[in-house]
Amino acid sequence: MLLCKGEIPIEKNVIVTDIYGKRIGATYPKRAKGLVKNGRAEYASDCEKCTIRILDTHKPTVDVTEVNNMGKVIDFDPRDFKADKSCENNVIAKYFVTDKDGENVIAYSIGNWNWDWTQICCDKKLEKNTDYVFRFVIVGGYCNTCNETSRFEIVPMPDGSLTDEAYEDRYTYDLAQNRYKPVLCKKTDEGMLRLFEIPFSTFDCEDFRFVFIAMHAVATLYAPKKFSAYADLEDTNFDQLRDEINSKTSEDNSANVVMDFTGAHVTRSTVTDLLTMARFGKSENVCIDFTGAFIEDDKPDDIQADADDTGSDDIAVELMDVADN
C-alpha cells in the first residue's frame, strides 16, 4: 500500500468472532462494514463497532481466510511437494482420482501402517511481516491404536536454507487425533475428511519450508475447496469414529467364532459337542480347525451317553465324517 507523508495506515483493527464469541481473526473496518451490510455478520455491540460476529447461518461461506485477507491464503498444491530426501523410508504415492463432484484431482498419499517415517516438503518465498493462512485437506492420517504420527510443520529459514537453528524455530501442528482442531470434519466413503487452516506470520523472514509428516497411518492430502463444496457431507469427529469402529468390531466378533484345535488330542464326543454348537449356536459363522488333530474313540458308555444327549443321528454321522477326514 502506497502512503503519502503524514498518512496513517489502515489497520485490521476490527475483531471477528464466531457465533459463540470465539475470536477467529481480524479484518479492516471497511471489510467489516461490508460483511454486516450483506447480512453475513453483525456488530457484537450496538454502541461499539470494533467487533463483528459471523452469523452461523452464513458459516459455510464465511471463513477465517476470507475475513483475514483472501490474497494471503496458501492452498496446498500436491504438485509443489516432493519427498524429503533426508528421510530414508519415505512411503509416498501421487495419483489422479475423480472426486464426488466428478472432478479429476491429484491425491498425495503419505505413510503406511508400519513404522516408516515419511516426510514431504515444499519451499516458498513469502512477503516479510505478513499474515498468511495455509489451507489443506487430509483424509485418514489416524489409526485405531491412537499412536500414529501425523504432523504439519512450518519452518522459517532466515538464511534461505534449512539449518539446525532454523529447524529448532519451526512451528509444529499435531494433526493426530485432532490435537490441532480442524475447521471442518466430515464423513466420506474414504474415511474422515478434515480441512485445516493454519494461520502464521512471516515476521522478518521470507523463505519458508512446509512439511507434512506421517508414520503408522496412511494420510491422503488434497487441495482444499470452498466450504460450500463439503456442505452435503455429514459432520463427524473422533469420538463418533471410535464408536463406529467399536460397534463394527463387536458385530464382527459375534458373527465369527474361530476355534483352533490344530494338532490337539480330542475325543469324538468333544467333536460332537463342537458340531452341535456350530449347527445350533447363535453365531453366523463358526470355523473349527482340526488340522493335524488326533481324534480318538470314546468308551462305549460315553458314546451312548453322547448320543442320548444330542438326540440326533445326523450329528453322529457328521461326526464320523469329520473324524475320518
Could you please report the per-residue DSSP string of 9-33? PP---EEEE-TTS-EEEEE-HHHHH
Interval 104-156: pLDDT, tens: 999 999 999 999 999 999 999 999 989 999 999 999 999 988 999 999 999 99
Of 211, 199, 222, 175, nearest in space to 77 by CA: 222
- pLDDT above 70 covers a percentage of the chain that reads 71
Where residue 306 falls among pLDDT bands split at 50, 70, 90? low
Question: In whole angstroms, what separates CA 300 from the centre of its chain?
Answer: 62
How would you classify the pairing of strands 171-174 and 149-156? antiparallel
Rg of the chain on CA atoms, in Å: 31
Helix (H, G, I), strand (E, B) or coil at 209: strand
* Cell numbers given for 152: 504439519
Q: What is the mean pLDDT of residues 272-277?
A: 73
- Cα distance between residue 199 and residue 183, in whole Å: 12
pLDDT at 241 over 50: yes
pTM, two decimal places: 0.58
Q: What is the mean pLDDT of residues 6-17?
A: 66
pLDDT at 22 over 70: yes
- Cα distance between residue 302 and residue 306, in whole Å: 6
Q: Give the single-character DSSP code of 9.
A: P
Where residue 318 falls among pLDDT bands split at 50, 70, 90? low
pLDDT at 180 over 50: yes
Where residue 96 falls among pLDDT bands split at 50, 70, 90? very high
pLDDT at 98 over 70: yes
Helix (H, G, I), strand (E, B) or coil at 8: coil
Whether residue 16 contacts residue 25, with contact meaning beta carbons closer than 8 Å, is answered with yes
| Inter-CA distances, 310 with 140, 275, 280, 322, Å | 51, 11, 11, 17
**pLDDT the model gives residue 91:** 96
**pLDDT the model gives residue 55:** 78
pLDDT at 3 over 50: no
* Cell numbers given for 162: 534449512
pLDDT at 301 over 70: no
Which of 129-138, 195-204, 305-314 has the weakest average pLDDT?
Answer: 305-314
- φ, ψ at 88 (rounded to 5°): -85, -25
**pLDDT the model gives residue 28:** 77
- Cα distance between residue 287 and residue 256, in whole Å: 8
How would you classify the pairing of strands 14-17 and 51-54? parallel
Look up cell 476490527; give the residue.
14
pLDDT at 224 over 90: yes
pLDDT at 56 over 70: no
* Cell numbers given for 138: 487430509
How many CB atoms sit inside 10 A of residue 196's CB?
22
Residue 282: Cβ-neighbour burial (10 angstroms; 0-12, 13-18, 19+): exposed
Locate the DSSP E strands across 44-191.
51-54, 73-75, 82-83, 92-98, 104-110, 118-125, 131-140, 149-156, 171-174, 184-187
- Cα distance between residue 156 and residue 265, in whole Å: 68
Give the helix ranges, DSSP H, for 72-140: none
Whether residue 69 contacts residue 130, with contact meaning beta carbons closer than 8 Å, is answered with no
- pLDDT above 90 covers a percentage of the chain that reads 41
* Cell numbers given for 318: 457328521
